[in-house]
């Protein structure tokens, strides 16, 4: 599967999940207005050491990072050549789909999961979690071994970075 087709599929999945989340969030807002949540800069939610470990590169390797914001959703793409992780941070939950096996990760919160693709032509590992009303979705474009252990370690650093 080409990179552009994969990107298209992921975009459609996230767009559908976003629309669903907006509907759910609108219904929840009608009942009680939540306090404003400060959304952190996703490029500042992890350490260089955590990124080096995720990408399996030696300490001090320069990884490029690009930020963008659209409709209250902040995104950071960190890459090393063709390998990249897309970090999405928002105040509303999102969703995902695909041929994935998901593993519960209670240290990231009760509903947190790390999902690993079961199809080699759809290389992705995802971490989805939230803390204090900040929702994270980390999309790594490789199938990671050991139930996505490297992405899980990366997400733990992000989880602890969120303060009230």
CA-to-CA distance for 80 and 85, rounded, in angstroms? 9
Contact 39, 90 (CB under 8 A): yes
pLDDT digits (tens, 9 = 90+) for 67-122: 999 887 999 999 999 999 999 999 988 877 789 999 999 999 999 999 999 999 99
pLDDT at site 163: 87
Neighbours of 99 (CB within 10 A): 13
Q: Is the pLDDT of residue 153 over 50?
A: yes
Bridge partners for 65 per DSSP: 78
pLDDT digits (tens, 9 = 90+) for 12-38: 344 434 333 334 333 343 344 455 778
Segment (H or E) for 42: none
pLDDT digits (tens, 9 = 90+) for 114-148: 999 999 999 999 999 999 999 999 999 999 999 99
For residues 47-68, give the mean pLDDT: 94
pLDDT at site 34: 52
User: What token pair was written down for 6?
Assistant: 């994969």
Say what the pTM is.
Answer: 0.77
pLDDT at site 35: 56
CA-to-CA distance for 10 and 3, rounded, in angstroms? 10
């Amino acid at each position: 599967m080409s990179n552009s087709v994969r990107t298209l599929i992921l975009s459609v999945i996230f767009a559908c999940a976003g629309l669903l989340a907006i509907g759910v969030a609108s219904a929840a807002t009608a009942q009680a207005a939540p306090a404003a949540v400060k959304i952190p800069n996703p490029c500042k939610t992890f350490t260089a050491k955590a990124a080096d470990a995720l990408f399996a590169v030696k300490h001090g390797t320069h990884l490029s990072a690009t930020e963008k914001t659209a409709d209250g959703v902040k995104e950071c793409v960190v890459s090393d050549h063709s390998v990249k992780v897309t970090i999405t941070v928002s105040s509303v939950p999102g969703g995902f789909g695909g041929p994935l096996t998901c593993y519960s990760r209670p240290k990231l919160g009760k509903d947190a999961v790390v999902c690993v693709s079961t199809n080699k032509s759809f290389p992705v590992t995802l971490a989805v979690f939230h803390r204090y009303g900040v929702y994270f979705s980390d999309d790594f474009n490789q199938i990671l071994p050991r139930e996505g252990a490297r992405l899980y370690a990366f997400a733990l650093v992000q989880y602890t970075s969120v303060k009230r």
